[in-house]
Amino acid sequence: MRVLLVLISCCLICISCSTNRTASKLSNSKRVEERTPLFKEGLNEAVFRGSISIYKHYFSGIFALKQEADNKYRMVLMSEVGMTLFDMSFTLDTYHLNYCIEPIRKKSLFKLMHQDFLLLVHAPKQEDLKFKNEAEAISKYQKNESRDFYFYENELMQKIDSKGFFNRIHIEFNEQENGVSNSIQIQHWPIKLKMELKRMK
């Protein structure tokens, strides 16, 4: 009986070690692109035709996003006729609303958009990611000490899931070309906030 228990214990240890080695091998052998598919290589700005849907309000126009300095960005949404709908500056820690039309002048809305844009402009470094699993060539990683999950295919980021306690953010990068996404969708749950961006340049 004692011999049988020893054999079972050895088998369990071997299986456990093998699983850990496999997970470690997967996580270490796959390198990922350490930027989101937002800015083109060598550029610090991007322009999209886009829309925002928030509860009963819907706005569309031209989104312009620019990196002004290290970790400092500016985001502007203008209508098709050139009227500024909102103008926001933000850093890693905070944001400032330079201008906004009244129907969407909501602190809670821009707090959410600040989270969205941070996910868009800041990709985690390889050493900050923890491998979770792989399915159909899509590798899933979790950012250390966070509830942010990143999905990669062929080293390129395909989507992001950020799971807050009261809100979930889902970002998809579609129509990728040379490592850059020409179509980006941002969806919140259960908050009814949705943004769609189509690259212009």
Residues in contact with 182: Cβ distance below 8 Å, sequence separation at least 6, in sequence order: 174, 175, 176, 198, 199
The pTM of the full predicted model, rounded to 2 decimals, is 0.83
Distance of CA 80 to the CA centre of its chain: 27
Band of the pLDDT at 30, cuts 50, 70, 90?
Answer: confident
Band of the pLDDT at 46, cuts 50, 70, 90?
Answer: very high
Instruction: Check residue 184 and give left, alpha or beta (phi > 0: left; psi -120 to 50: alpha).
Output: beta
Sheet holding 148-153, edge to edge: 95-100, 84-91, 72-78, 57-69, 45-54, 193-199, 180-189, 168-177, 156-163, 148-153, 138-143, 129-135
Burial class (CB in 10 A: 0-12, 13-18, 19+), 141: buried
Domain residue ranges of the chain, discontinuous segments joined by +: 32-126+171-199
Ranking 4-18, 54-68, 74-88, 159-173 by mean pLDDT, the lowest is 4-18
Q: Are strands 129-135 and 95-100 parallel, antiparallel or unpaired?
A: unpaired
Are 180 and 189 in contact by the 8 Å Cβ rule? The answer is: no
Q: Residues 69-117: pLDDT tens digits?
A: 989 999 999 998 989 999 999 999 999 999 999 878 889 999 999 999 9
